[in-house]
Amino acid sequence: MSADTADSALRSLGYEPSFRRILTRRSLILYGLVILTPTAPYPVYGIVQQMSKGHAALCYLAAMLAMLFTAVSYGRMAGAFPAAGSTYTFVQRGLNAHVGFIAGWGMILDYIFIPMLSVIYAALTAERLLPQVPYLVWAVLFAVSITWINLRGMQQTARAGTVLLWLMSLCAVAFLVLAALRVAGHGGSGALFSMQPIFQPHEFSLRAVMAGTGVAALSYIGFDAISTLAEDVREPQRDIAVATVAVCVIQALICVATVYLAALVIPDFRSFANPETVILDIGQMVGGAWMFGALTLVLLVAGLASALAGQAAASRLLFGMGRDGVLPRRIFAHVSPGTNTPTRGIWMMGVAALAGASLVSFQLAVELLNFGAFLGFILVNLSVIQHYYIRGRQRSGWGWLTNLVAPACGAAACLYIWLSLSSKAQMAGFIWVFIGIIYLGFLTRGFRKPPATLEF
């Protein structure tokens, strides 16, 4: 499909092209890996290992299954509706305009907290390296930096993300190699093949594993941001689907290998003095002081990379909602002629990231991010069933599997994980959804008309 064909498909949805189509499939995969980061398990490994009673690897495998079904659903919906807006657009078109708004409203939590969470963790890491510089100074520096890069345009964002991805990948590979060498050096090559990190009968608890899976899923959340770039990519109806699934699989391999080897290095999960930073201790065990320093530095790089990509994705989700008039058009639907970017949305996300870094704790940010993400994931899976299986009647051949069974499994898995989140996260998340419903009622005059300006 050429860029002209992609623009024609966009016009058929009632939208005029707003961005330059400069991204390739390779660019999308790199972008997805940047927002997820190959070091994603590092900050939460100790927490997941303790919550699951030593089953972190199993948690990451379970999360992978849920995310893989959902990744396929995102690819399917991007093929049908190749427009910026991602979750909001897919649910709005696939299910219902009102439900689409709620999906977008919920995903605002996800897309606000991805860059916010990254700025918080990067500032905390930098403060540990240079404690004489206050945390708030680091937060301001990082929030301003990512905003400045994104304001320069999508091409600059992609280039910066690629450089940061290579730095993270080098460190991630070094960690895996050194951890494997340590395990083999102490127990022989056979010690590398063990069921202990995956299943321990005397410790296993389904409830504990699912609670850990809810946190482990954080390492996958963000793959959906690829679909927000549907209007920046040359061949969206093909490349969005391939890139989304590829990123999910690559991330799963990295995460499972990391937590598997980490569990072999320190088998006793109860011995973690500081679960949030235990990966640094493992790094020091396998590679000495230089590896400890490298991991600390790469966590800083990962925070910046994820914040950079997350802010770009957030601005495009808000652009999609602003273009439809469900958010103020003058702010969110504005695209700068010079840089071809939604600059006002980027500024809004920069301010939100800075404010959140000053007011919100790391753990609360994680929980709220998961709430918004899984709400959107459930609804996108249901949208596939409605659009393809029910409305499109695509049930012959493998249609029943791809259009009904697979998305139903994805929705069920995401619902189970969503309901396994902490009560604090659910309470705060439902308050956010309730506010969205009130706003929607006002916007639609008591739900009597579609929330978007387009009638469909």
Which tens digit of pLDDT belongs to each residue from 263-279? 998 888 887 777 767 88
- Give residue 383's pLDDT band: very low, low, confident or very high (50, 70, 90): very high
pLDDT at residue number 454: 37
188-208 tens-digit pLDDT:
778 788 888 888 888 888 888
Cα–Cα dist 45/201, whole Å: 21
Instruction: Check residue 327 and give left, alpha or beta (phi > 0: left; psi -120 to 50: alpha).
Output: beta
Q: Which residues pair with 23 in a beta bridge?
A: 233
350-369 tens-digit pLDDT:
777 777 767 766 666 666 77
Domain at 21-443, CATH homologous superfamily: Amino acid/polyamine transporter I (1.20.1740.10)
215-228 tens-digit pLDDT:
888 788 777 778 77
- Give residue 95's pLDDT band: very low, low, confident or very high (50, 70, 90): confident
Give the count of beta carbons closer than 10 Å to the beta carbon of residue 65.
14
Evaluate whether 263 touches 196 at the Cβ level (below 8 Å): yes
pLDDT at 456 over 60: no
Cα–Cα dist 151/340, whole Å: 9
Cα–Cα dist 44/283, whole Å: 15
Place of tokens 């929330």: 451
pLDDT at 319 over 80: no
CA distances (Å), 407 to each of 73, 76, 241, 389, in order?
Answer: 6, 10, 14, 10
In the predicted model, what is the mean pLDDT of residues 304-333? 73
Evaluate whether 299 touches 42 at the Cβ level (below 8 Å): yes
In the predicted model, what is the mean pLDDT of residues 1-13? 62
pLDDT at residue number 455: 35
Q: Where are the domains of the chain?
A: 21-443
pLDDT at 291 over 50: yes
Q: Which of 15-29, 52-66, 153-167, 173-187 has the least mean pLDDT?
A: 153-167
Q: Average pLDDT, whole number, for the chain?
A: 80
Structure tokens at 53: 């009673």
pLDDT at residue number 122: 76
Which residue has better confidence, 173 or 312?
A: 173
pLDDT at 382 over 90: yes
Which residue has better confidence, 137 or 159?
A: 137
pLDDT > 70: what percent of the chain? 87
pLDDT at residue number 19: 67
Evaluate whether 428 touches 372 at the Cβ level (below 8 Å): no
Q: What is the pTM of this model?
A: 0.76
Q: What DSSP string runs through 99-117? A: HHHHHHHHHHHHHHHHHHH
Residue 390 DSSP class: I
Structure tokens at 215: 């946190």
Cα–Cα dist 366/109, whole Å: 10
386-440 tens-digit pLDDT:
999 999 888 887 888 889 999 999 999 888 888 877 777 788 888 888 988 888 8
Cα–Cα dist 18/20, whole Å: 7
Which residue has better confidence, 114 or 170?
A: 170
In the predicted model, what is the mean pLDDT of residues 280-288? 84
pLDDT at residue number 384: 93
pLDDT at residue number 453: 44
pLDDT at 287 over 60: yes
